[in-house]
Amino acid sequence: MTLRVDLEPVRAFLTDEHLELAQRASAFADEHLASAAPPEDDADARTLARTFLQAMGSAGLLAHVHPLDLRACCLLREIIAHASPLADEVFALQALGSMPVAVAGSTELKARLLAGVTNGTVMAAFAMTESEAGSDVAALSTRAVRDGDDYVLSGPKTRTSNAGIADFYTLFASTDPSAGHRGITAFAVPADAPGLYFEGPQVLSAPHPLGGLRLDACRVPHDQRLGDEGSGFKLGMQTLDSLRTTVGAAACGMANRALDEALAHVTQRRQFGAPLADLQLVQARLAKMAVELTASRLLVYRAAHAKDSGKARVSEECAMAKLFATEAAQRIVDSAVQLHGGRGVLSESTVDQLYRAVRPLRIYEGATDVQYLVIARSLLKRMGR
């Protein structure tokens, strides 16, 4: 077994324990992911997602989410995404959906949910997005009204990963619509809560368990509220800020796989009496792919190291890592498709599957355009603006 990613460029950011974890994760990917066929459709993705979750839990890989070791999570996402973008999404959602519980849930709620999250028996989800509330989270329309010892939740959620298969949803609703984002509150809502309905799948170009939810007078006990009323926006942004770097890591994993596929293809494919790899334009394209991948990985592990080292604010570092790595990955995968020629756009081609899988990374957990704003505001703040 060999490492699926080259750790030497980012070695300075890692401990010996991280190197050992990378070995275990690569062995896991070889055993559980390498031979798994990509999902053919939404139903297949939903079945595979549960299979991958149980396997990762049994292997102890999810234990690095709580307490959060960001460099470990980046390593795991990079290695897993190299083998299976769907398995990477499953890992990501366990972290995203459970982090607010770990940060703001009651002692009883943490005890009830987090052990299952880390051993792979409880599937988490993160339900914030609505049709009119994406980057503008304050515009969400889902309402939560206190009624005795319960909250009554009503409203829609869309583009929720793991919708219909999750065991619980970290869900955001407004308890005070007049307060804008300061009126948003977070809840841990069991999937079997009366009044919570799965509206059906929303099909992505790369099969993934995405779907819509509807809350119709859904009653949630008050002790499943996460934090104080009105703290949901801050909690959600804190969660996204903490985990955004790992999206960049996943992008690196997919880009690395695309580069591996491209190198194998151009050294084997012959045109005009010689391997494609002998053509200078092909060499230039490969070099650019390698440079962008290395730069991406350095930004990702720099940000993760800063977070793990206790730096109070890492918004700028995380935004840079997420922005650059996801945009670079799109270019790297596109170049791999181009180098494969007509074979690269066949649906069974690995690079075509990566092309479809990598595209959403530039949108979710903060679109590229939003990351530019985060970085610029950080720079201006240092100037006293």
Contact between residue 330 and residue 362 where contact means Cβ atoms under 8 Å apart: yes
Catalytic annotation present for 31: no
Answer yes or no: are the C-beta atoms of 61 and 76 closer than 8 Å.
yes
Tokens of 376: 């610029």
Asked if 305 contacts 312 with a C-beta cutoff of 8 angstroms, the reply is: no
**Pure H helices in the chain:** 16-28, 42-58, 70-83, 85-104, 107-119, 232-268, 280-308, 315-340, 350-358, 368-382
Amino acid at the residue 240: L
Greatest pairwise CA separation for the chain in angstroms: 79
In 85-105, which positions are buried (b, 16+ CB within 10 angstroms) versus exposed (e)? bbbbbbbbbbbbbbbbbbbbb
End-to-end CA distance of the chain: 52
Please write down the HEC assignment for all residues of 149-200: CEEEEEEEEEEEECCCCCCEEEEEEECCHHHHHHHEEEEEEECCCCCEEEEE
Residue at 224: amino acid letter: Q
Picking from 302, 315, 351, 303, the residue whose alpha carbon sits closest to that of residue 330 is 351
- Residues tagged active-site: 365
